């Protein structure tokens, strides 16, 4: 799966948790989930759990800690997918 494909899938995972739907269409690696997309920090846990279910991966505490912006989310998901 290319990074762009993963990014498009990630948008569907994030969508239920942001009210900023317009910004969601133009996200890039630097987009900060909390600051830019105004996602409630506790809902990052839901995004992680939904991503685990979608990709059938397990995200540990240390990896979850890194998932601050879109780029780091893609890095963690790609890393976990490669480990499968």
Q: Which residue, 8 or 40, is less far from other proteins as judged by CB?
A: 40
Distances (CA, A) of 32 to 9, 10, 37, 58: 17, 14, 7, 22
Distance CA(71)–CA(10), nearest Å, equals 11
Size of the site for other proteins (CB under 8 A): 10
Which of positions 58-77 make contact with other proteins (CB under 8 A)? 61, 64
- Shortest CB 43 distance to other proteins, Å: 7
Q: What angle do CA 14, 39, 46 make, to 5 degrees?
A: 55
Q: Which residue, 1 or 49, is less far from other proteins as judged by CB?
A: 49
Which of positions 24-53 make contact with other proteins (CB under 8 A)? 40-43, 45-46, 48-49
């Amino acid at each position: 799966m290319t990074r762009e494909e993963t990014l498009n899938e990630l948008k569907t995972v994030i969508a239920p948790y942001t009210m900023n739907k317009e910004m969601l269409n133009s996200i890039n690696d630097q987009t900060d989930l909390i600051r830019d997309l105004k996602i409630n920090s506790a809902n990052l846990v839901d995004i992680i759990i939904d991503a685990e279910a979608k990709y059938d991966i397990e995200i540990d505490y240390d990896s979850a800690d890194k998932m601050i912006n879109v780029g780091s989310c893609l890095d963690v998901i790609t890393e976990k997918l490669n480990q499968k």
